[in-house]
Structure 1
């Protein structure tokens, strides 16, 4: 009898705990204290300028099962323009994922940091890939201008997907690559365009003609968990820099995780070749939100918009041969060579798009690099910026503090939540 009572008591406690857990999981998250900056320490001091241990916000994703938890990712690390490449201010920096939550008080609370690693479990760097493995032609230098090497597994990470099995998918601006990482950040698979020697499963060869520093800027997963959807940042140099003319044409690519099958769709930007399509987040299996932005600060006329797009009805422009280096053609011209009239007359339909929110108009958004979004449901959107580790180029290849012109403060990664249409 005592054993029976004990069993009933334990079952009651277990059920009660499960209900409490479920209630906690499903309760509304307190976003009232946002916008809020991420906590930061100092990464380095270069030429008397502090480089913050930031950069989180190049891409973002929600935890697949725990409401109020998120992942944000850095890019390749703090850098400045120099000669034919970049000065890497912290050459050993490893692109890093930050896992955080909005706690009961409504504050950002870091859970852990996950450094990205090669298949052997060694931390990678953000240094460029060598020729044949995703090279963009950029040369890496240290802060003093000395030439650095390359990294076979280096990544200029720009977007992140948190999968239901606890693993991550990350897209970048080198290859461009889509890399599958374990929960601990160890590389499982690297998927690159045909002709880039990294693995057996491939993206369309034409994607290798991305411009340097303008690769696969956005990546998300469909709610059914079957398909990755990646957004190229801007017009690619197809068939060449000299011949690519359609400055508002960019591409969205889908990758079936089980089969490796790809599709491509055309996206028409509002701005030109200097503007960017950044992160992408899923609303449904066919409907998504995408960022369009320019490089100006919000208070200086910057464009920071989110569009609601739909792939249904858009034409798959993958073509019959994904190994074709210039992709599908119209009258023997690459798509980037064609005007929108030529593309329309060929029966090709772009993805549909409508404005979801203008962040400058709605929030007075100040940051320049609006690069991360997560759809929260109920027409609410989480918004993140890339703070460039608190530094920018001084015009001579050296760092200076990245100052927000409206507030006079150093730019830091910040999370917002905004209602969308």
Structure 2
């Protein structure tokens, strides 16, 4: 039934993709009057009873959190959708192993629709909670290992494990740690003209299709045993690095092909391999399920590709960033990073080598699990050991990229995370940060996430004027 509903959605996409934008709002109004320092998104308070580990005073956990991805509302020019991830969380190691503290463990990941007024004020139009196929709410809790879970144990803020029934003691069989195979750590978002959405995440990674109400109607991942799937990713994507999955998702303008990008080098086949600069792009044809892979070369090893946005059928924008704060953030002024990297690049898939086009030989093989191998090494291992030039000598080239925006130079970007891109028109780009629900942690202890002594981090929309399409 799921597949039939999903395919019906594609029919509507095909009909609507040829129609003009129905928006009655000109982009000129809100982009011309938009404040250069950006505009803050509204938020509510999830809880304010926890004690900040640095100040020993209560602090706010905010919702907020609408910064993991953003995309245009295809039917309204002055509106955008933004995505939360799995909810407020922090690294934590407790009696049941390493994992994450979830101070709002019942949090449901969601999509927000936001409106930008002529004066630049941003307001929320609605919030769409994400749901399982039968309509119950999903959580942000980790998946089981069969679907890519990396052993993250979920804990409450008080250090107790999140259990199937928190009112009863832990029992490995009768009352185990609570995991959720529908749980999502969403990071990429696509909004289609028919009102449906695709979301990519950091767990599987999974790419999940939701209807306009937020109910799941289809799924794509690399696990062939997952009966929910309509198509599959190549098996190599099972080796995503923990907490660095499919961070960006886009769709071609004709709405026929999804394009996803991994945040960082994958754990392919081990942790040593993930410390490189080779990242993967995958395309998925939504009619046939056919996939293709391309390579993206990061400026620095272990950088983050945090968003992907379509310009044409082959040209896309990519956020590539590090994790530093220009002015030090929660780490203080002494840790300011004047060379913080918050870049937007334009890439062209036609300049990269489709991995399926590489002929096999005595040197080049394909492994069922680890993908293309050269001299017995995965592509990640090969580049780490021999360099990108050696890969080029084998006829394999990453996509070309050119810098479009340096957000540090453009607006003195103060945030650590830059994770949302909104292509408004060919000369204007919306950029959104992830505020992490205004939370931070030091050595596993929760605190308020601040940008400087007196300013709490929040979701902030910036609109940048730039030549997005290029020559």
TM-score, normalised via structure 2 length: 0.81
Query: Cα distance, 1:49 vs. partner?
Result: 2.3
Q: 1:313 to 1:157 in 2, by over 3 A?
A: same
Does residue 420 in structure 1 map to residue 466 in structure 2? yes
Find 2:133's aligned residue among 95, 119, 139.
119
Q: Which residue of 2 aligns with 1:334?
A: 378
Cα offset for 1:224?
A: 1.3
> Aligned-pair distance for 1:163?
0.7
Assess if the C-alpha contact under 8 Å between 2:220 and 2:233 holds in 1.
yes
From 282, 287, 306, the counterpart of 2:344: 306
| Residues 322/203 of structure 1: CA separation in 2 closer, same or farther (3 Å cut) | farther
Following the alignment from structure 2 to structure 1, what is the Cα–Cα distance between the partners of residues 131 and 114? Answer: 20
Residue 212, structure 1, aligned to residue 242, structure 2: yes
Q: Distance in 1 between matches of 2:22 and 2:109?
A: 34
Cα deviation 1:146-203 (Å, max 9, x = unaligned): 2221012000001110011110000000000000000000011121113462424101
Cα distance between partner residues in 1 of 2:223 and 2:23 = 48
Alignment CA distance shift 1:284-1:276 (3 Å): same
Structure 1's 50 and 246: CA in aligned 2 closer, same or farther, altered over 3 A? closer
99-108 or 47-56: which moved more? 99-108
**C-alpha deviation, 1:379, in angstroms:** 2.4
Aligned equivalent of 1:56: 66
In the TM superposition, 1:200-279 aligns within 5 A as 200-242=230-272, 244=273, 247-273=276-302, 275-279=303-307
Q: 1:303 offset after TM fit, Å?
A: 1.0
Q: For residue 422 of structure 2, what is the aligned residue in structure 1?
A: 374
**After the TM superposition, which residues 95-114 of structure 1 pair with which residues of structure 2 at under 5 Å, given as runs?**
95-114=109-128
Give the unaligned 5+ runs of structure 1: 1-20
Which residue number corresponds to residue 171 of structure 1?
Answer: 200
Q: Partners of 1:66 and 1:187 in 2: how far apart?
A: 24
Equivalent pair of 1:298/1:304 in contact (CA under 8 Å) = no
Q: CA deviation at 1:367?
A: 0.7
Q: Measured at CA, do residues 246 and 89 of structure 1 come closer, stay the same or move farther in structure 2, by a change above 3 Å?
A: closer
Matched pairs, number: 397
Structure 2 counterpart of 1:402: 449
Q: Is the 8 A contact 2:115 2:124 kept in 1?
A: yes
Distance verdict in 2 for CA 1:22–1:95, change over 3 Å: closer
Match of 1:353 among 383, 388, 401: 401
Moved more, 26-35 or 358-367: 26-35
Residue of structure 1 equivalent to 2:8: none
Q: Compute the displacement of 1:354 (Å).
A: 0.7
For residues 366 and 377 of structure 2, the distance between their equivalents in structure 1, rounded to whole angstroms, comes to 16
> Counterparts of 1:267 and 1:330 in 2: how far apart (Å)?
18
1:116-195 equivalences under 5 Å are 116-148=130-162, 149-195=178-224
In structure 2, how many angstroms separate the alpha carbons of the residues matched to 1:82 and 1:391?
14
Q: Is the 8 A contact 2:266 2:274 kept in 1?
A: no
Superposed CA offset, 1:222-256 (max 9, x none): 111111110100010112224x1661100011111
Structure 2 CA distance for aligned equivalents of residues 363 and 196 of structure 1: 47
The answer to whether the aligner puts 1:284 opposite 2:312 as a matched pair is yes
Change in Cα spacing, 1:372 to 1:223, as seen in structure 2 (3 Å) is same
* Offset of residue 377 of structure 1: 1.9
RMSD, aligned α-carbons: 1.9
Following TM superposition, by how much is the alpha carbon of 1:133 offset from its aligned partner in structure 2, in angstroms? 2.1
Mapped to 2, the partners of 1:377 and 1:352 lie a distance apart of 22
The aligned residue for residue 3 of structure 1 is none
In structure 1, the residue matched to 2:40 is 37
Shift of 1:26: 3.6
2:79 corresponds to which residue?
A: 69
Cα distance in 1, alignment partners of residues 442 and 399 from structure 2: 39
Change (3 A) 1:322 1:261: farther
My pick for the range that moved more, 46-55 or 278-287, is 46-55
Shift of 1:24: 3.5
In the alignment, is the contact (CA less than 8 A) between 1:267 and 1:351 conserved in 2? yes
Alpha-carbon distance between aligned partners in 1 of 2:419 and 2:152, rounded to the nearest angstrom: 22
Q: Is the 8 A contact 1:41 1:53 kept in 2?
A: yes
Query: In structure 1, what is the equivalent of residue 368 of structure 2?
Result: 324
Partner Cα distance (1:399, 1:36) in 2: 27
Would you say the 8 A contact 1:205–1:322 is kept in 2? no
Report whether the alignment pairs 1:391 with 2:439: yes
TM-score, length basis structure 1: 0.90
Say if 1:253 and 1:265, in contact at 8 Å, map to a contact too. Answer: yes
Q: Which moved more, 1:304-313 or 1:129-138?
A: 129-138
2:264–2:274: 8 Å Cα contact kept in structure 1?
no
Residue range with higher mean Cα deviation, 321-330 or 42-51 = 321-330
Q: CA deviation at 1:376?
A: 1.6
Unaligned runs of 5+ in 2: 1-20, 52-57, 163-177, 328-335
1:204–1:322: 8 Å Cα contact kept in structure 2? no
